Amino acid sequence: GVPVAVLAGSRAAVEGFERGSDTRVHCSPPSMAVTRAAAQALILNRKCGDELRLRLAQLVRHFRHCVKAVGFPFIGGLFPVQTLAPSCEINPLRLYQHLLRRGVRTVLRRSRCGQAALLSFIITARHRPDEIERAVDILASARV
């Protein structure tokens, strides 16, 4: 998790982006700490990136299987950000508070249109299957 992005492609594509983008106007260059963290991230990616991505995909699949089993519909595919599908039966703010009181940290955010709150789980390769199961058990307990 390094707060930096890279644009890669053909020379023409990169030059076209530079000409048409306001990124250089609205962003500052990365700090030395961020540059070094990015270099470490690239080393880690080379060393075990495929293994970490596979683990993350397995954890996301496990999460989706568990939440489906308890009747909560989530959107997000295999993406690590899993968002509770909007429903008039579920209050995302109350659910967020229920989870937080029981030690499960989630992200409460606005929908793209800004109308409704959405509740998202962010799954990382550091999570363990038992942690996911515990979070889903606490999620399920909100229905009782």
Q: What is the pTM of this model?
A: 0.79
pLDDT digits (tens, 9 = 90+) for 39-98: 998 899 999 999 999 999 999 999 999 999 999 999 999 999 999 998 878 899 999 999
- Tell me what percent of the residues of the chain surpass a pLDDT of 70: 97
Q: Among 21-25, 64-68, 97-101, 121-125, which stretch is predicted with the lowest mean pLDDT?
A: 21-25
H, E, C per residue of the chain = CCCCCCCCCCHHHHHHHHHHCCHHHHCCCCCHHHHHHHHHHHHHHHHHHHHHHHHHHHHHHHHHHHHHHCCCCEECCCCCEEEECCCCCCCHHHHHHHHHHCCCCCEEEECCCCCCEEEEEECCCCCCHHHHHHHHHHHHHCCC
